[in-house]
């Protein structure tokens, strides 16, 4: 797609809409000052945005000493967004308006690791359609899909460096974006769930421009935001903290085939394996009441909180491993905030306190002096917000508005579906 000129009228419409929705400029005089466009041009650009349904008067007025200026705001109901996010035991689907207000959301249990990718995608699409009110279905402007593993920025497909069979990752041959684009008849963006968490964390009010989001589930992945933008890396696999070496002399085998990776200590699968090992050694009376084959991270955390020493050892070992990796990452990247969430292990105070001790002991003092360690939302709201944010920012970007603005909506710009690019 050829670059668009700043003088393109639709590019200017996109900039006016961005300034209005961000609150940076919301009146004609403010918009003229911010864009350095003439008042008459600003009036035309606002009119074009209003015809697209993107902006409306808020009813407020601001005065600079003369006649009060009309204040404009983003119109949320101009279009709607849908998302589907993979999880370890199912998926989450949701609908939101352009103001990112969630209208409907549900979690669906599904064998996501064993079901055929096309079957999973069909079920996800059907759940989105069933949840979307009939009067809004024709206004579905874009879809965001979150998958468990790195995503190729260009194609929207799997870029996972680990074998697809590991933890049920989808094969690279499955065209996630292409499948959903054809099925949903709308522009589709695909991203790793860890990156969606990072996007959501960075879009929170007061969030710094440099942060890391650690997502703890079956594996311990992360998303990196640098200078306000998501950093994916040259091969799209930036943030694969789960395969950073913790102990070089370890005999713990990771799913990637190496030994001593962070995942082999703090991944949910490794925690469950440790718990079963403790049971076989007769070291846990609390966990002995449970079925060894069905042990989960939740069970281990609950047992530790009830005073089970063996379970506490597992949590402390996982916390030390993450603290060691974060010490390297924080010293090298120097983020202002680290958000850690995803499961009950991440939320455990025992885990958090032990992880911070290791981090503070092993990182460069200047690197941790001002870094904020923040717990993620227990319901993983960052992923949802990040997915909606990703789709909206892409659809309302200057290059894409320049493409769909003349025809009235993103769904009418059929060529956009094939080449929409991510932020």
Measured CA to CA in angstroms, residue 232 lies from 62, 191, 197 at distances of 42, 10, 13
Question: Which residue has 């650009």 as its token pair?
Answer: 45
Task: Note whether 414 and 313 are same-domain residues.
Answer: no
Count CB neighbours of 412 within 10 A: 10
Task: Note whether 286 and 345 are same-domain residues.
Answer: yes
Instruction: Return the pLDDT at 38.
Output: 95
Task: Note whether 395 and 314 are same-domain residues.
Answer: no
Task: Note whether 336 and 395 are same-domain residues.
Answer: no
Tokens representing 289 are 């009441």
State pLDDT tens for residues 27-70: 999 999 999 999 999 999 999 999 999 999 997 777 666 677 89
**CA–CA dist 7, 398 (Å, integer):** 11
Task: Note whether 97 and 232 are same-domain residues.
Answer: no
pLDDT band at 163 (very low <50, low <70, confident <90, very high): low
Q: Does the pLDDT at position 420 exceed 70?
A: yes
**CA–CA dist 95, 54 (Å, integer):** 18
Q: Which domain holds residue 107?
A: 79-200+381-419
Q: Rounded to 5 degrees, what are φ and ψ at 141? A: -85, -30
The CATH number linked to 361 is: 3.30.420.40
State pLDDT tens for residues 96-136: 999 999 999 999 999 988 899 999 999 999 999 999 988 88
Query: Is 2 within a domain?
Result: no
Task: Note whether 152 and 98 are same-domain residues.
Answer: yes
* Neighbour-count burial of 83, counting CB atoms closer than 10 A to its CB (0-12 exposed, 13-18 middle, 19+ buried): buried
Query: Is 4 within a domain?
Result: no
3-state secondary structure (DSSP) of residue 255 = coil
Query: Is 137 within a domain?
Result: yes
Flag the least confident range among 63-72, 86-95, 123-132, 392-401: 63-72
Task: Note whether 193 and 253 are same-domain residues.
Answer: no
Measured CA to CA in angstroms, residue 208 lies from 59, 63, 92, 198 at distances of 32, 32, 27, 12
Instruction: Return the pLDDT at 164.
Output: 53
Task: Note whether 266 and 407 are same-domain residues.
Answer: no
Number of structural domains found in the chain: 3
Instruction: Return the pLDDT at 112.
Output: 87
**CA–CA dist 82, 392 (Å, integer):** 10
Check: pTM over 0.85? Answer yes or no: yes
State pLDDT tens for residues 249-289: 999 999 888 999 999 999 999 999 999 999 889 888 888 88
Measure the CA angle with vertex 166, ends 218 and 117; round to 5°: 95
Task: Note whether 370 and 228 are same-domain residues.
Answer: yes
Query: Is 130 within a domain?
Result: yes
Measured CA to CA in angstroms, residue 392 lies from 19, 150, 250, 299 at distances of 14, 21, 44, 38
Tokens representing 137 are 């279905």
Count CB neighbours of 183 within 10 A: 18
Task: Note whether 124 and 28 are same-domain residues.
Answer: no
Task: Note whether 226 and 366 are same-domain residues.
Answer: yes
Task: Note whether 273 and 352 are same-domain residues.
Answer: yes
């Amino acid at each position: 797609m050829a670059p668009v000129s700043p003088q393109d009228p639709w590019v200017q419409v996109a900039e006016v809409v961005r300034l209005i929705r961000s609150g940076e400029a919301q009146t004609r005089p403010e918009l003229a000052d911010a864009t350095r466009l003439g008042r008459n041009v600003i009036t035309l650009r606002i009119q074009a945005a209003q015809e697209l349904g993107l902006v409306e008067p808020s009813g407020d007025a601001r005065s600079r000493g003369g006649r009060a200026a009309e204040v404009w705001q983003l119109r949320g109901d101009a279009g709607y967004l849908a998302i589907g996010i993979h999880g370890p035991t199912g998926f989450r689907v949701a609908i939101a308006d352009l103001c990112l207000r969630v209208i409907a959301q549900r979690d669906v249990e599904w064998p996501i690791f064993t079901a055929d990718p096309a079957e999973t995608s069909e079920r996800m699409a059907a759940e989105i359609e069933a949840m979307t009110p009939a009067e809004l279905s024709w206004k579905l402007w874009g879809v965001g899909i979150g998958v468990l593993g790195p995503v190729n920025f260009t194609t929207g497909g799997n870029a996972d460096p680990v074998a697809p069979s590991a933890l049920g990752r989808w094969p690279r041959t499955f065209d996630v974006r292409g499948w959903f684009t054809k099925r949903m008849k709308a522009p589709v963006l695909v991203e790793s769930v860890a990156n969606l968490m990072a996007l959501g964390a960075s879009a929170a009010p007061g969030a710094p421009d440099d942060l890391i989001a650690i997502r703890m589930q079956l594996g311990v992945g992360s998303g990196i935001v640098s200078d306000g933008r998501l950093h994916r890396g040259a091969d799209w696999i930036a943030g694969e903290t789960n395969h950073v070496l913790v102990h070089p002399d370890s005999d713990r085998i990771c799913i990637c085939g190496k030994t001593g990776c962070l995942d082999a200590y703090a991944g949910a699968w490794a925690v469950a394996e440790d718990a079963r090992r403790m049971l076989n050694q007769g070291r846990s009376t609390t966990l002995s009441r449970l079925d060894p084959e069905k042990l989960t991270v939740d069970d281990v955390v609950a047992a530790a909180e009830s005073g089970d020493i063996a379970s506490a050892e597992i949590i402390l070992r996982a916390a030390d491993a993450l603290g060691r990796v974060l010490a390297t990452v924080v010293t090298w990247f120097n983020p202002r905030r680290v958000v850690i969430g995803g499961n009950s292990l991440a939320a455990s105070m025992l885990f958090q306190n032990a992880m911070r001790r290791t981090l503070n002991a092993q990182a460069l003092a200047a690197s941790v002096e001002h870094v904020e360690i923040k717990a993620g939302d227990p319901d993983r709201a960052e992923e949802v917000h990040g997915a909606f944010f990703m789709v909206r920012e892409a659809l309302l970007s200057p290059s894409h508005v320049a493409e769909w603005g003349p025809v009235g909506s993103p769904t009418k710009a059929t060529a956009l579906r094939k080449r929409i690019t991510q932020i």
